[in-house]
Amino acid sequence: MALFTRPAPAPDTWTPEGTLVSQRYRALEGATVLVYTADTDRAGTRYAVACLGCTHRADRTAAGNVMKESEAALSANDHAATCRAVPRGVPAPPSDTEAAKLIRTRLWARRYGSAPHRVRLSDFTVLRVDLQRSTDWIRAVLSDTAESDPGFLAAAPAGFGQGTRFTVQPFARP
């Protein structure tokens, strides 16, 4: 009887839950670099880059703009050409608590302005490889957070169609 009989997905074919992988690159020592987008039904698709060998994640250009697929491909290719990370395999999905903490941490960084910050699902595109969760799961975490801490994240009905609009509230200023 084999000691390890459960096959693990290969990084060259793995697609994290909640993403659509459009391109894969091989880094110098064999790590896989993904170009992906979230599985949202929204126009204006945003792309991100994630290396499965190191901690490299990117969803913005050098100018600070969100990436189109062609820009993400260039970023992934540039990273793959310099990254010496060895393949680490497919990352284990975090627990629900850890994944919710990743979302909350991302939202917390938006509190430092003086005005409320509108939350979009695309704000989490770069985290999708680490979260490994669906869009519906992220929406549920946002709803739970808004319900438990409305001073941090406010929820209101969307002004059009169905759904909920979430807004991170800035820190109270004296």
- N- to C-terminal Cα distance for the chain? 68
Residue 13's pLDDT is what? 85
Distance in angstroms (rounded) separating the CA atoms of residues 55 and 42: 28
The torsion angles phi and psi of 167, rounded to 5 degrees, stand at -140, 125
Residues of the chain with pLDDT under 50: 1-8
Distance in angstroms (rounded) separating the CA atoms of residues 9 and 52: 13
pLDDT tens by residue, 82-130: 999 999 888 899 999 999 999 999 999 888 888 999 998 888 999 999 9
Q: What CATH number is given for 96-168 in this structure?
A: 1.10.10
Give SS3 for 19.
Answer: strand
**Domain boundary assignment for the chain:** 19-82, 96-168
For residue 128, count other CB atoms closer than 10 A to its CB.
27
pTM reported for the whole predicted model: 0.85
